[in-house]
Chain A
Amino acid sequence: MSGEHLIAAALLVPAAGAVLIAGAGRWPNVREAVTIATSAVLFAAVLALLPGVLDGARPQLVLLEMLPGIAIGFRIEPLGMLFALVASGLWIVNSVYSIGYMRSNKESRQTRFYACFALALSATMGVAMASNLLTLFLFYEMLTLSTWPLVTHHGDDKARAGGRVYLGVLLGTSMGLLLPAIIVTWALAGTLEFAPGGMLRDAGLSGAALAGLLALYVFGIGKAALMPVHCWLPAAMVAPTPVSALLHAVAVVKAGVFAVVKVIVYVFGVDTLAGAPAADWLPFVAGFTILAASLVALRADNLKRRLAYSTVSQLSYVVLATALLAPLSVAAAVLHIATHAVGKITLFFAAGAIYTASHKTEVSQLAGIGRQMPWTMGAFAVGALSLIGIPPAAGFLSKWFMFQGAAAQGSWAVFAVLALSTILNAAYFLPILHAAFLRQPPAGEAVHGEAPWTMVAAMMVTAGATLALPFVASVPLGLARSVAGLSP
């Protein structure tokens, strides 16, 4: 199959899957088989694109013109390849996990859940492969809307409130800031096609104008969860855990930082921004978000909330590293998209498993739980270590490059933020591990054992991936380096 067909397949397979799932709602086994088959086919399609992209091919697909001069078009470049690979790969694992989670918690409306999930993945693929800003925007909004039913899955007052914040912040920022930014770009550059070196390279904007436009973009892409537009992410934690795991640790939030990286690299161009002092403010915002979110995470007792704020802070690593505008740090940012994904999904899987087995949601309830759920907490430990940045877990890899990039740029303030946040990461993760493994469970604790096997298996796969990633780093590293313009 040619690249064109594969791209079409990557977009259509999950969408078609959603339709089939909706049709198979009466037979749960068929429905879930369809989900897993869809995810497998999607991953295969994305994987088939990889060798070509690694060799420097840039397959593309142009559909009809949505506005005169702006087509709905797709083009795969390394950054999108990496993102698509991570999202589609983890979807398989997540589907297996979902089956265990949704069945043991006897969730209602499971058909809607699986269908929307598939739809969200289709939108994610669209974001990853978009060849211009309008296509990116189209699928970005589709992603927001298709995940809303998942966030409000429980349908109670809490879910409604969370859903309102989720939708309000994401649609508000994207329509209020991102859309004007795109239109301004269109007016200035006369094109919306992503171009290496940046489409605004020759627009001749002053530093202040560039800075303003960059602010519109960075805050307009609410999914990147830069403070103060981060509040949708904790609100989204009312969703069932598989949603938090795949969408709010991988697909949705990564679509956000992915878009930020895309905008900085392909819309502005690293050199344009470095030439004018336009992006100087961004590291401060990102650095502040990293530290502030870590501090909030430190105080959060709800496990998912703690993980959510950890995600907020980790996302800002990506933004911070990109904002340094050094090739090495951009590569690190790209790499972090992948490494954080596998680590964080493991953590969410573990949180969901704990909830399913013991119905515990607070950190303070976890004393001694590692004795009952050794596998789960083992996986949790792997994920936590990865996020702190302790080798051999994957997080170490991207953090290492980030430190290197900061040092190479001479940005010692950034260096300090990275160092400080690593300590904070340790401070909010290690007490959990300590409580789980070393403290005594409270007297009279019911025996509940491990979560269902599908969940444990899924966790093992992602934990394994977290540990294995540094050893097979050539693929993500190669993609990341070619985004940053370094030789692979």
Chain B
Amino acid sequence: MSAITGHFSYWVTVFLMVAGLYIIISRTNLLKKLIGLAILQTSVYLLYIAPGKLIGGTAPIIADGFSSYSNPLPHVLILTAIVVGVATLALGLALVVRIREAYGTIEEDEILGQED
């Protein structure tokens, strides 16, 4: 397998990771930064889930006729990570709403430009 197709999921992971980080760093809009954050976190989900899957493997329930199972642990971990991600996003959005109420804008440079 070539370096590209054989590591396909990793390439996607890396792309999402870098794209997310880039958005966080380059955008001044607080909402867009949150979107970047969400994309960054999504890359983690993929990083964990993809290697856990065995091609041809089934859910890890012992039954006759099945010998290869996918690893369930990454799913459990990522379920937790997703919950954490949702909580972070919700909190971030709540903060953005309140920032907008307090400052009248969600552009970072405009906010930092305002005096106290």
Direct A–B touching, Cβ under 8 Å: no
Identify the A interface with B (CB < 8 A): none
Identify the B interface with A (CB < 8 A): none
